[in-house]
Each structure stands twice: as C-alpha cells, then as structure tokens.
Amino acid sequence: MTESPGAPIRVVLVDDQQMVRAGFRMVIDSQPDLTVVGEAGDGAAAVQLLRGTPADVVLMDIRMPGTDGIEATRQVIALPEPPRVVVLTTFDLDEYVVAAIGAGASGFLLKDAPPEEMLDAVRTVHAGDSVIAASSTRRLLQHVAPMLRGAPASAPGGGDDAALAELTPREREVLVQMALGASNTEIARGFVVSEATVKTHVGRVLAKTGSRDRVQAVVLAYRTGLVQPADLLRDA
C-alpha cells in the first residue's frame, strides 16, 4: 500500500474474539510507528473493511465462523494494492497454515506469542521480509514443513523445478538459508558478504522463482525438496 514517508504502519485486526482484538490493539497502539486502523470479527467483514480502508498489514485469525481466515486472505490478496497478511494460528492448526500460505499470506504467528514478537512480526512483514525467523514461528514451520513436500506448484506455469534451475549456485544457497529461517544479517555473516549483497540475492531469488515474497520462496524450497524438514531440525 502507498504511504507517506515516516507514516505509521497501518494495521487491521481480524479475529472473532473481541478480547483478543482489544489486547492486540492496546499493544500495537502503544507503539509510535504502528496504528490500528480497523477491526473485523470475521473474514467477510474484513474483506469489506479493507475495500475502503487503506492498510499495510493484516493480522488474520485462521479459524473464524463464516468466511474463515484462509478464504479471507485469498480475497484480500486479490484487492488492488493489497496489504500483507500475517495469519494467527496455534500448533494444532498446521494444515490451516499450509492453506493460508497457499492463499497468499506473508507469514504466520502463534496466537500466544509474546507482545514483542507480534510487534516484530508486523514490522518485519511490512518491510517485505518473512516472520519465519521468530522462535515460535520457526517451531511452527517444523510442524508445517512436512506437509509442503509435493504440494501443488505455484511458480508461473507450474514449473517450480524449472524456476529453481534458473538460480545460480549462490542464489540456491541463499534460498536454503532463507528456508532454514535465517535473516539477511545472519546469511551475510555466514557467507562473509555485505547485507546489501544478500538483499540483492534475495531479490533475484524472488524474481526468478516468481515468488511474491520471502515466505512464498521458502514454501517453494520445501515443496520441491530443496530443503527437507530434517534440515530445519538439524539447524535449530
């Protein structure tokens, strides 16, 4: 979404529990660089709200009555200048996370994550990065990763393997590190290069694989078998 330089990050909260929304709003509005611009109690109301309310990041509960978070995410992503969506979940809803990421979510966060982790997630996703490096979502990825193997391709033309073939050896190494939850800073440290160089590699990975953002590229890495769930466990 287009915003003025220095403007606070605009957040929309979507959860069927009013107390949950109230708690999130209190934490978010306590930050000078963040502001809640709207709330919705179900997916249909969220889509309607976002048609007329500019927002940068949506915190979307996956499981809600009526239009759930998965379908709502799909509809929100289809809007002109869509916000980024972070889905809120619990460990027992792994299959919903897979569906939500497939619907276009840019990250996922455990509902019981500490406030500072939720704030970091909003800022990180708004900056175009993933939320996978956070400790709780990293553990969640360990649960989700096995379900991604062999999932339907998402690269243009359905050619995930062809997209991977376009990557240089270093770009493949960067994608592997992304899938293991490493930040750009951590990748730069590991490869002994500048963070700017890593950002360039990440940008090329996204472009060549047809990935809208970092999370979609990570999903592709697991789906194609470039990275195995065991690799994540070993690297933890």
Q: What pLDDT sits at residue 134? A: 46
The more confidently predicted of residues 194 and 214 is 194
Q: Alpha-carbon distance 95 to 27, whole Å?
A: 28
Q: Alpha-carbon distance 136 to 204, whole Å?
A: 28
Q: Alpha-carbon distance 202 to 187, whole Å?
A: 10
Q: Alpha-carbon distance 211 to 92, whole Å?
A: 27
171, pLDDT greater than 70: yes
Q: What pLDDT sits at residue 230? A: 65
Q: What pLDDT sits at residue 146? A: 64
pTM of the complete model: 0.72
Q: Alpha-carbon distance 183 to 177, whole Å?
A: 8
Q: What pLDDT sits at residue 125? A: 86
Q: What pLDDT sits at residue 191? A: 95
pLDDT in tens, 47-102: 999 999 999 999 999 888 888 899 999 999 999 989 999 988 876 556 777 777 77
Integer angstrom CA distances of residue 184 from 99, 177, 180: 26, 9, 12
pLDDT in tens, 1-59: 545 557 899 999 999 999 999 999 999 999 999 999 999 999 999 999 999 999 999 99
137, pLDDT greater than 70: no
